[in-house]
Amino acid sequence: MPSLPASGPSEPSVLDLAPVVPVVVVEDLADAVPLARALVAGGLPAIEVTLRTPVALDAIRAIADGVPGAVVGAGTVISPAQVSDALAAGARFLVSPGWTDVLLESMRASGVPFLPGVSTTSEVVALLERGVREMKFFPAEAAGGTAYLKSLSGPLPQARFCPTGGIGPANAPEYLALPNVGCVGGSWMLPADAIAARDWGRVETLARQAAGLSGLSAGGTCR
């Protein structure tokens, strides 16, 4: 089972496992394990299962137990109760779309890596003030996209982000080229028709393409 690399003296990080973190919505529990296996085989070990469906926690548990190469996390975490439930299911990291002090302290006390969501400079500064340097930037495109993140890198270089929301293979390299972006989140490697057909080979192919993404160089080609 892959370990989470260190992002600092003591904090583990999920931002360095792969350039893309798949954001997974599991509707049918039977899909959880083969879907995760396809993603891992394609080179995307960090898998965020969103807590948006009745089977989400069971899906996390199934992936944690049945896919040794996966680093499965819980997304759309918005309450301390969900933090506890996700940990009990085997989640190894937590992602929230936003944060409050109560939620932040619960995630911090969990002992696993967490990415609180931000969309404004003030939120970033508030998290830095609380000792948090790694964050989810959401909704990325709607909140200003690469231009916004680039403008943050000068005054707040210590903050690192996983942008999510409106990101696909066309614009992901632009995000990954930014010095304050560790990875991006997205679901384009999980098209609805492939999931419906249980075409795990197609999912693996799309995952492999995503795993090969990198930032655009000044000349406009992948570095």
Catalytic residue numbers read 48, 136
Task: Please list, in sequence order, all residues whose beta carbon lies within 8 angstroms of the beta carbon of residue 62, skipping any fewer than 6 positions away.
Answer: 29, 32, 33
The first and second tokens of residue 57, run together, are: 């926690």
- The crossing angle, in degrees rounded to 10, of helices 101-109 and 80-89 is 20
Residue 133's φ and ψ, nearest 5 degrees, are -115, -15
CA angle at 46 for the pair 42 and 48, rounded to the nearest 5°: 115
d(CA 154, CA 118): 17
